[in-house]
Structure 1
Amino acid sequence: MAGPHQTPASTADAPQLDEILLRVGKLNYTWSNTESLLIHLIAGLARIDKDTALIIFLTLNTTRARLDLVGRLAKMERTPEAERKDVLGVTERFSRISALRNKYNHCIYSFDADGGSPKTILMRISDRKDAIRYGKTDPINSAELETVDAAIEAIAELNREIWRLAQRHGYPI
Structure 2
Amino acid sequence: MANLAIMAVSVRRELFESILNAVVNHDHYFERRVDVAGRQGLSPHHKLTSAFRMLANGCSVDSTDEYCRLAESTAIENLKCFCKAIEGIYGATYLCNPNREDLKRLLRKAEKRDFPGMIGSLDYMHWEWNNCPTAWASQFKGRHDKPTIVLEAVVSYDIWIWHAFFSAPGSNNDINVLWSSPLFDNVVNG
Structure having greater relative contact order (Cα 8 Å, sep ≥ 6): 1
TM-score after normalising by structure 1 = 0.27
Q: TM-score, normalised by structure 2?
A: 0.26
The structure where helix makes up a greater share of residues is 1
